[in-house]
């Protein structure tokens, strides 16, 4: 297609419509790939499916870059499931709970535990939540507030870490978009450069301790706190008395040591490490970390070898949905490149959006899609291939635009009632998803509003201190709100 037009957007539009209607990004991606394959294939109706599999899906799996990502995800999945079921997370949370003597320390301990258990955004609420439920009840902290703390330390922390599932996923999407647009930069350097511009993530992480230290809440959360009472049901979590915090911190230490030891041999940090070498190093790090955890589990008697292997295999197979999402995303990206979708969107951006405002437009669009679908990952898959060529077309700063995609996807996911993290955070805290959504929404909206202003500024100035400034504004706003709500109603 020499002159791409509106038709080039059809696979993306189909993906969006199906994902929004069914609230299932995987089905939406499959529909979009099917639509795009129909548009680009000359095969007959009978031969279309074999042609799509052979020409669109198999090449994505066979590609050396993509294959290394899928292998790495399997290593990550096995390690994360093994550590989740080891009981080490609960043991770590119990050790942190010994420091708890008041409401502020209880909230800070739950927040700190969530930050430390960064390797699994979906596992964090179910590891930390049940341990802190009785402590929250004793300190008259509502289950809604506990759910908010859990949600603020799951996805917002994970999205900033380049060497876990989130980072690997995001870098693979960035790499695909870079390749489609002829960008020679590495996906690693792009991810690292975008970290200071992940404004919403930093705001979400900061708000929980700020509110805890100020001993302050507003909106529905304030009313929930004033009538805090224990919830009826609590989820079960691995809680073996033989489990110790070492089951968490020592494997993670091994992971870090092995990763940096391998990278140092490759010339890091003086030389840029190739993406394939980085993924191989990361795979080795997760492998040796898992070996250490196996040894600890066997020596401590927490698990038998058969149970540990079964948990590891379960974790590896549990990454299938993520792998399928990536394969379909890669296929949709290649189809969009063939149709000229990126070129068309870039032309629209060049004609309709100035470079200074592209980031905030991208943030808002990503937030809307993520809120409606409940999936930040699906939003990243859809938005990144469109945002990057648009940034090139209007000469906008790539790190800012990438940060806007990630922040918008996280904001929508963080405030969506159908998000996985919303459901798991409420489950871990022992409250309902609706209550968690209702009480957290004002906090998410405040952070989202600050993010909008931050991306307007970052879009014009591309200042790496924008997240720190946004957190400063957030703290100032909380101080003002606290003072205002402390006034008698007659004075307000």
pLDDT in tens, 389-416: 999 988 999 999 999 999 999 998 888 8
pLDDT in tens, 92-106: 767 766 777 788 999
Cα 411 to Cα 158: distance, rounded to the nearest angstrom? 14
**Sequence-separated (6 or more) residues with CB below 8 Å from residue 303:** 85, 86, 297, 311
Using CA atoms, how far residue 153 sits from 86, 121, 205, in Å, is: 20, 8, 6
Q: Which residue from 335, 412, 357 is spatially nearest to 379, judged by alpha carbons?
A: 412
Let me know: does 473 contact 251? Beta carbons within 8 Å. Answer: no
Q: What is the pLDDT of residue 1?
A: 46
Q: Which residue from 93, 139, 129, 141 is spatially nearest to 113, judged by alpha carbons?
A: 93
Q: What is the pLDDT of residue 121?
A: 67
Residue owning tokens 């940096």: 260
Q: What is the pLDDT of residue 478?
A: 95
Using CA atoms, how far residue 262 sits from 84, 189, 278, 300, 326, in Å, is: 26, 18, 9, 29, 27
Through-space distance between the first and last CA atoms of the chain, rounded to whole angstroms: 62
Between 121 and 344, residue with greater pLDDT: 344
Cα 195 to Cα 62: distance, rounded to the nearest angstrom? 31
pLDDT at 120 over 60: yes
pTM reported for the whole predicted model: 0.77
Residue 345 belongs to some domain of the structure: yes
Q: What is the pLDDT of residue 83?
A: 81
Q: What is the pLDDT of residue 304?
A: 92
Evaluated on CA atoms 203, 122, 414, 104, the torsion sign reads negative
Q: What is the pLDDT of residue 489?
A: 58
Residue 1 belongs to some domain of the structure: no
Looking at 33-37, 52-56, 116-120, 355-359, which range is the least confident one? Answer: 116-120
User: What angle do helix axes 143-152 and 433-461 make, rounded to 10 degrees?
Assistant: 40
Q: What is the pLDDT of residue 202?
A: 97
Q: How confident is the model at residue 387 (pLDDT cuts 50, 70, 90)?
A: very high
Q: Which one-letter DSSP state was computed for residue 164?
A: S
Determine what percent of the chain is predicted with pLDDT higher than 70.
90
Cα 342 to Cα 107: distance, rounded to the nearest angstrom? 45
Let me know: does 399 contact 194? Beta carbons within 8 Å. Answer: yes
Residue 491 belongs to some domain of the structure: no
- Tell me the chain's radius of gyration from C-alpha atoms: 23
The boundaries of the domain holding residue 79 are 8-486
Q: What is the pLDDT of residue 178?
A: 93
Taking residues 331-360, report their average pLDDT.
Answer: 80
Q: How confident is the model at residue 290 (pLDDT cuts 50, 70, 90)?
A: very high
Residue 121 belongs to some domain of the structure: yes
Residue 3 belongs to some domain of the structure: no
Residue 229 belongs to some domain of the structure: yes
Distance of alpha carbon 127 from its chain centroid, rounded? 18
Residue 2 belongs to some domain of the structure: no
Let me know: does 356 contact 460? Beta carbons within 8 Å. Answer: yes
Q: What is the pLDDT of residue 151?
A: 93
Number of domains in the chain: 1
How many residues does this entry show for the chain? Answer: 492
Does residue 269 have a cis bond before it (omega within 30 degrees)? Answer: yes
The DSSP element (H or E) to which 294 belongs, if any, is: helix 275-300
Taking residues 191-216, report their average pLDDT.
Answer: 95
Q: What is the dihedral of CA 128, 131, 132, 135, to 10 degrees?
A: -170
Between 375 and 258, residue with greater pLDDT: 258
Residue 234 belongs to some domain of the structure: yes
């Amino acid at each position: 297609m020499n002159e791409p037009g509106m038709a080039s957007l059809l696979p993306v539009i189909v993906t969006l419509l199906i994902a929004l209607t069914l609230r299932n990004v995987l089905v939406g991606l499959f529909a979009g790939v099917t639509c795009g394959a129909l548009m680009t294939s000359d095969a007959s109706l009978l031969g279309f499916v074999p042609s799509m599999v052979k020409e669109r899906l198999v090449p994505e799996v066979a590609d050396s870059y993509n294959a290394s990502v899928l292998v790495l995800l399997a290593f990550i999945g096995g390690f994360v499931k093994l550590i989740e079921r080891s009981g080490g997370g609960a043991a770590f949370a119990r050790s942190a709970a010994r420091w708890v003597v008041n409401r502020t320390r209880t909230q800070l301990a739950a927040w700190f535990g969530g930050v430390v258990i960064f390797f699994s955004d979906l596992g964090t609420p179910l590891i930390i939540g049940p341990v802190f439920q009785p402590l929250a009840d004793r300190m008259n902290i509502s289950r809604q507030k506990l759910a908010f703390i859990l949600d603020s330390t799951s996805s917002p922390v994970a999205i900033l870490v380049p060497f876990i599932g989130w980072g690997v996923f995001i870098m693979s999407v960035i790499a695909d978009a870079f390749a489609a647009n002829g960008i020679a930069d590495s996906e690693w350097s792009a991810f690292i450069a975008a970290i200071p511009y992940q404004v919403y993530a930093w705001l979400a992480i900061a708000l929980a301790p700020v509110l805890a230290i100020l001993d302050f809440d507003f909106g529905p959360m304030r009313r929930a706190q004033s009538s805090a009472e224990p919830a009826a049901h609590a989820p079960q979590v691995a809680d073996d008395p033989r489990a110790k915090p070492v089951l968490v911190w020592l494997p993670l230490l091994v992971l870090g040591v092995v990763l940096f030891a391998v990278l140092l041999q490759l010339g890091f940090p003086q030389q840029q490490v190739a993406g394939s070498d980085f993924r191989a190093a990361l795979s080795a790090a997760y492998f040796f970390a898992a070996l250490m955890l196996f040894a600890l589990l066997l020596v401590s008697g927490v698990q038998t070898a058969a149970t540990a292997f079964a948990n590891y295999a379960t974790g590896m197979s549990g990454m299938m949905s993520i792998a399928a999402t990536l394969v379909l995303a890669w296929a949709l990206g290649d189809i969009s490149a063939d149709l000229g979708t990126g070129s068309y969107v870039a032309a629209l951006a060049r004609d309709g959006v100035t470079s200074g405002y592209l980031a905030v437009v991208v943030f808002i669009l990503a937030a809307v899609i993520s809120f409606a679908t409940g999936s930040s990952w699906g939003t990243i898959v859809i938005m990144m291939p469109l945002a990057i060529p648009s940034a090139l077309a209007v000469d906008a700063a790539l790190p800012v635009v990438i940060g806007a995609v990630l922040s918008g996807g996280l904001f929508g996911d963080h405030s969506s009632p159908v998000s996985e993290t919303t459901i798991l955070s409420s489950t871990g805290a022992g409250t309902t998803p609706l209550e968690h959504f209702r009480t957290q929404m004002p906090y998410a909206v405040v952070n989202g509003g600050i993010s909008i202003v931050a991306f307007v500024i970052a879009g014009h100035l591309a200042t790496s201190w924008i997240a720190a400034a946004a957190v400063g504004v957030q703290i100032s706003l909380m101080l003002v709100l606290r003072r205002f709500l402390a006034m008698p109603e007659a004075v307000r």
